[in-house]
Chains A and B, each alone.
Chain A
Amino acid sequence: QLQLQESGPGLVKPSEALSLTCTVSGGSVSSSTYYWGWIRQPPGKGLEWIGSIDYSGYTYYNPSLKSRVTISVDTSKNQFSLKLSSVAAADTAVYYCARTTMDLSYYYYMDVWGKGTTVTVSS
């Protein structure tokens, strides 16, 4: 059964970069069937999609974060990663990784999520 696990520092200083990794077990990030993505939820707010990547490294990002986001995939480690630069207090959130798959009509949906990891931006 596919499982996703987020990992990374729980505390990041303002203006520095946030780096998180999602380790995939029970499946392969190299599969052409899926996309792999990051979503976050600031305290007391709704979920926000950050971006996604496919097995070949093709990425697409939320326009509001695009200038600061880099998502990459490491097939040798079966992981994908998020880097968010120049963070501020507003980037404090629970960060989730998730797999995206598609149905028979080619509509996509996120079917498996990680439990999330809390990142606080503070000096």
Chain B
Amino acid sequence: DGGITQSPKYLFRKEGQNVTLSCEQNLNHDAMYWYRQDPGQGLRLIYYSQIVNDFQKGDIAEGYSVSREKKESFPLTVTSAQKNPTAFYLCASSLQGQTEAFFGQGTRLTVV
């Protein structure tokens, strides 16, 4: 089935460690996005990518890094520089134009 897959669903890390969240899509979508969601809050855009080997900072990029080496993959690394990394992370993808964006089921990251 076509879709967008995030893994793992739950992730625990020790403070000070970098961690990479996976996002894969087989929808042949050009654009991919990463969002952070804190309890009771809306989605905040971290990074987005329109094409392979290109990406732009969103509204809260500090402490995060991404890569887009393949069209279907857009991994997010939460670095030790991110001061409050515990959150729900969502990945999305879309085609060009005014088509809908598809979201993964999210990764809940807990840093202890």
- Say if A and B assemble together: no
B→A interface (CB under 8 Å): none
A→B interface (CB under 8 Å): none
